[in-house]
């Protein structure tokens, strides 16, 4: 049997060919392997299933706004008021993110020459969670829109409240809602754009309080997670539950709009309502 003995050691019988991660990415919705440069050219929309990948606020800024923009309230950042400690302290988490970054970026700009204030949430910053700085930046943006007599647009992309800020985070729900109510009373126009994912306290407050609610296709939008709802109600959930299309069918959303048509649709809404 000596002819059958392996002479070389450490021979890998099933060599796995790793895809270079900078060139290929798997679609979480349909499982197709996508060529990144092609995906990027299509504003990160899967050409197989139309799933809209979460993208950065910089990209949304380019997609929605005309060229001239002014960044707002970038000096407002989170602090660890409660001295939160778990596996990692809140202070440590805040230290590893770049300076002046927050879970929302605010801008004064124009959409097809219509002046607007735009807030874009950023899921990459602690899950787009809503802390005190997020509440303050959005509230100030609403007030600025009121002063400038222009509409406000909030693009939501969030896991909900920020647990590291406890009740302070929950207070932001009522704080933002109060500012929106005052803005609405003065006749201001508020448009919300719900993207993948919009969940928790953001859905339960300003996400669903707009005069016009737009959502990107196949976005996950809901309050509690599906497993929690199933366990609590002991009911089977319908197909496409907590998706943009399901919520539009039930009347919670006005339009489901492709990211590539987002600017055009916002512009049409502004032309009609302002
Ligand atoms: Zn896909």
Q: What is the DSSP letter of 261?
A: G
Write the DSSP string, 137-206.
HHHHHHHHHHHHT--EEEEEEE-SB-GGGHHHHHHHHHHHHHHHHHHHHTT--EEEEEEEEEETHHHHTG
> What integer pLDDT is reported at residue 17 of this predicted model?
56
Q: How far is the CA of 164 from the centre of ligand 1 (A)?
A: 33
Q: How far is the CA of 177 from the centre of ligand 1 (A)?
A: 35
Identify the band that residue 96 occupies on the pLDDT scale cut at 50, 70 and 90: confident
pLDDT above 80: residue 162 = yes
| 21 phi-psi bin (left φ>0, alpha ψ -120 to 50, beta other) | alpha
CB 239 within 8 A of CB 226: no
CB 221 within 8 A of CB 248: no
Identify the band that residue 70 occupies on the pLDDT scale cut at 50, 70 and 90: very high
Q: How far is the CA of 186 from the centre of ligand 1 (A)?
A: 43
Q: What is the DSSP letter of 121?
A: E
The partner residues of 205 in beta bridges, in order of sequence, read none
Q: How far is the CA of 53 from the centre of ligand 1 (A)?
A: 9
Tell me where in the chain the CATH 3.90.226.10 domain(s) lie. 55-273
The owner of tokens 């802390």 is 131
Q: What count of residues does the chain have? A: 274
**Tens digit of each residue's pLDDT (9 = 90 or more) over 175-220:** 999 999 999 999 999 999 999 999 999 999 999 999 999 999 999 9
Identify the band that residue 13 occupies on the pLDDT scale cut at 50, 70 and 90: low
**What homologous superfamily is domain 55-273 in, according to CATH?**
2-enoyl-CoA Hydratase; Chain A, domain 1 (3.90.226.10)
The partner residues of 218 in beta bridges, in order of sequence, read none
What is the mean pLDDT of the segment spanning 54-61? 94
Identify the band that residue 137 occupies on the pLDDT scale cut at 50, 70 and 90: very high
Residue 134 CA to its chain's centroid (Å) = 13
CA–CA dist 77, 73 (Å, integer): 9
pLDDT above 80: residue 235 = yes
Question: What does the block give as tokens for 114?
Answer: 């219509």
CB 175 within 8 A of CB 130: no
Q: How far is the CA of 194 from the centre of ligand 1 (A)?
A: 19
Write the DSSP string, 205-227.
TGGG--SEEEE-TT-BEESS-HH
Prior bond of 197 cis (ω within 30°): yes
Q: How far is the CA of 253 from the centre of ligand 1 (A)?
A: 23
Q: How far is the CA of 268 from the centre of ligand 1 (A)?
A: 28
pLDDT above 70 as % of the chain: 91
CB 96 within 8 A of CB 114: no
**Tens digit of each residue's pLDDT (9 = 90 or more) over 16-25:** 555 666 899 9
> What integer pLDDT is reported at residue 100 of this predicted model?
63
């Amino acid at each position: 049997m000596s002819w059958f003995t392996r002479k070389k050691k450490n021979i890998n019988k099933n060599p796995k060919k790793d895809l270079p991660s900078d060139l290929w990415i798997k679609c979480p919705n349909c499982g197709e392997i996508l060529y990144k440069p092609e995906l990027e050219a299509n504003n990160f929309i899967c050409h197989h299933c139309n799933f809209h990948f979460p993208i950065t606020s910089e990209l949304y800024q380019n997609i929605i706004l005309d060229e001239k923009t002014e960044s707002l309230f970038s000096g407002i950042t989170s602090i660890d008021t409660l001295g939160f400690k778990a596996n990692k302290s809140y202070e440590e988490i805040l230290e590893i993110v770049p300076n002046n970054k927050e879970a929302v970026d605010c801008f004064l700009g124009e959409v097809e020459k219509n002046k607007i204030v735009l807030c874009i949430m950023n899921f990459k910053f602690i899950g787009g969670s809503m802390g005190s700085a997020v509440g303050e930046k959005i509230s100030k943006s609403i007030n600025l829109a009121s002063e400038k007599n222009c509409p406000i647009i909030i693009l939501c992309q969030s896991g909900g409240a920020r647990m590291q800020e406890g009740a302070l985070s929950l207070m932001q729900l009522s704080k933002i809602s109060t500012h929106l109510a005052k803005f609405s009373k003065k006749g201001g126009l508020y448009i919300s754009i719900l993207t993948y994912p919009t969940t928790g306290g953001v859905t339960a407050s300003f996400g669903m309080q707009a005069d016009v609610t737009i959502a990107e296709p196949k976005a996950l939008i809901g309050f509690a997670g599906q497993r929690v709802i199933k366990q609590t109600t002991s009911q089977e959930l319908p197909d496409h539950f907590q998706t943009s299309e399901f919520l539009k069918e039930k009347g919670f959303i006005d339009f489901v709009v492709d990211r590539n048509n987002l600017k055009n649709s916002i512009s049409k809404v502004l032309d009609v309502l302002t």
